[in-house]
């Protein structure tokens, strides 16, 4: 007889994968996989495949794949994502290894069936839902794919008259909640996110300070530490190398300009979502907006969205308490609340993979 199942909630993001388990473990790793470039690298690293911070730290010795970068394979069909056929196989293998590694981090009891809810972008296409099912099939005995913003809302008991805005690395997903399972048509996915802010910030920095030596990691770390969108008196002063010599730069203006690029698309997406509802539901939803995902941590974003909503009669915006684990924790709560017979429907030899299919 099977032992007690292990339940897992997973947030499979462009940038990071977070995983929370019913046995109390929680972990978050970069959504990236590294393979040693040659046999020397393989001998030094002592592994065939590398995960987590090692992918960044040892990157010179690795061939690195971010399988969901720019939403490739995730919210776009592979043809649209610009990933070649050859790369597609590599992305698939990387995604498979990543999911398997994330599950192994939860240390499930040997022999116990593993049931998981995976948060996927709001409007992952059928093709991409089946891609996720496929890469998850090695690691789980049964799997459900739920929209990421829904798992956040479920975790916060905000399933009635609420709006979740999940600001990730690749996409901003806006999802209305009105006491039922959200359909694909309810939701809006804006194809922008933290990666886009990094690109703009990098461009503005190289225009203004061409002498400063930058890398994508440096740019991202500055944004995560100082990023803001409101009017502040403080300045963002950082040390950057110029010809290998640390030098002080005031990056306040380019940083703000880059971070602000997300605000208009968020308001536009919100407007699109709420315009589909009657005015009384609109009012209720606008007064219960939840910002999730790493981008929710941009200083002042909640207040700026509230200000922008004044034209729509006002709104109330709050941030999730824990932007790293909110999606995965909600997915776990969903997994643990599903009765055993419903899990049987999601056994991986079945084709149904989303709660909407089973409803």
Ligand X SMILES: Nc1ncnc2c1ncn2[C@@H]1O[C@H](COP(=O)(O)OP(=O)(O)OP(=O)(O)O)[C@@H](O)[C@H]1O
Please give the residue ranges that form the binding site for ligand X (CB under 6 A): 11, 13-16, 31, 168-171, 193-195, 220, 223-224, 227, 293-295, 297-298
Query: What is the spatial distance between Cα 304 and Cα 323, in angstroms, rounded to a whole number?
Result: 19
| Residue 353 near which of Mg ion, ligand X, none (CB within 5-8 Å, type-dependent) | none
- Provide the 10 A C-beta neighbour count for residue 138: 12
Least CB distance to Mg ion at residue 87 (A): 22
Query: What is the spatial distance between Cα 317 and Cα 319, in angstroms, rounded to a whole number?
Result: 7
Nearer to ligand X, 93 or 199 (CB): 199
Nearer to Mg ion, 141 or 173 (CB): 173
Least CB distance to Mg ion at residue 212 (A): 30
Structure-block tokens of residue 13: 């993001």
Nearer to ligand X, 258 or 335 (CB): 258
- Chain position whose Cβ is nearest to ligand X: 194
Nearer to Mg ion, 108 or 182 (CB): 182
Query: What is the spatial distance between Cα 160 and Cα 158, in angstroms, rounded to a whole number?
Result: 6
Least CB distance to ligand X at residue 124 (A): 10
Least CB distance to Mg ion at residue 292 (A): 8
Structure-block tokens of residue 203: 């461009």
Q: CA torsion angle for 98, 104, 108, 111 (degrees, to 10)? A: 90
How many residues touch Mg ion under the rule CB under 5 A: the total is 2
Least CB distance to Mg ion at residue 13 (A): 4
Least CB distance to ligand X at residue 152 (A): 10
| Residue 295 near which of ligand X, Mg ion, none (CB within 5-8 Å, type-dependent) | ligand X
Nearer to Mg ion, 11 or 141 (CB): 11
Query: What is the spatial distance between Cα 72 and Cα 78, in angstroms, rounded to a whole number?
Result: 7
Query: What is the spatial distance between Cα 229 and Cα 215, in angstroms, rounded to a whole number?
Result: 23
Query: What is the spatial distance between Cα 220 and Cα 199, in angstroms, rounded to a whole number?
Result: 9
295 binds Mg ion (CB under 5 A): no
Nearer to Mg ion, 62 or 144 (CB): 144
Backbone angles phi, psi at 336, to 5 degrees: -75, -20
Where in 150-179 is the site for Mg ion (CB under 5 A)? 168
Question: Which of residues 9, 13, 147, 227 is near Mg ion by CB under 5 A?
Answer: 13
Residue 17 contacts residue 132 (beta carbons within 8 Å): no
Write the DSSP symbol of residue 321: S
Least CB distance to Mg ion at residue 11 (A): 6
- Find all residues with CB under 8 Å of 256, minimum gap 6, and list them: 228, 229
Binding site for Mg ion (CB under 5 A): 13, 168
């Amino acid at each position: 007889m099977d032992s007690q199942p292990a339940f897992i909630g997973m947030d499979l993001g462009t940038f990071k994968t977070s995983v929370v388990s019913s046995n109390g473990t929680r972990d978050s790793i970069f959504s990236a996989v590294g393979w040693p470039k040659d046999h020397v690298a393989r001998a030094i690293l002592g592994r065939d495949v590398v995960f987590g911070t090692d992918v960044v730290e040892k990157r010179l010795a690795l061939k690195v794949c971010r399988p969901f970068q720019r939403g490739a394979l995730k919210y776009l069909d592979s043809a649209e994502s610009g990933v070649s056929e050859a790369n597609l196989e590599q992305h698939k293998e990387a995604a498979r290894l990543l999911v398997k590694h994330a599950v192994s981090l939860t240390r499930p009891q040997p022999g116990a069936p593993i049931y998981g809810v995976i948060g996927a972008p709001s409007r992952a296409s059928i093709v991409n839902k089946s891609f996720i099912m496929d890469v998850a099939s090695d690691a789980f005995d049964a799997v459900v794919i739920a929209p990421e913003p829904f798992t956040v809302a479920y975790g916060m008991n905000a399933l009635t008259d609420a709006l979740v805005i999940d600001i990730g690395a690749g996409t901003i997903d806006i999802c209305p909640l009105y006491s039922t399972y959200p359909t694909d048509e309810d939701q809006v996915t804006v194809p922008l996110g933290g990666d886009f802010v990094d690109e703009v910030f990098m461009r503005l920095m190289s225009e203004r300070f061409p002498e400063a030596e930058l890398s994508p990691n440096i740019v991202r770390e500055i944004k995560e530490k100082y990023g803001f969108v409101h009017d502040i008196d403080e300045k963002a002063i950082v040390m950057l190398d110029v010809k290998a010599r640390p030098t002080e730069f005031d990056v306040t203006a380019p940083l703000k300009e880059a971070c602000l690029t997300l605000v208009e698309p968020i308001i536009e997406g919100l407007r699109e979502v709420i315009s589909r509802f009657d005015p009384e539901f609109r009012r209720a939803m606008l007064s219960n907006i939840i910002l999730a995902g790493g981008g929710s941590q941009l200083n002042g974003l909640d207040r700026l969205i509230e200000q922008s909503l004044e034209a729509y009669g006002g709104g109330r915006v709050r941030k999730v308490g824990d932007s790293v684990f909110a999606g995965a924790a909600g997915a776990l709560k969903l997994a643990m609340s599903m009765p055993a017979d419903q899990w049987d429907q999601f056994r991986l030899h079945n084709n149904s993979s989303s709660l909407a299919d089973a409803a």
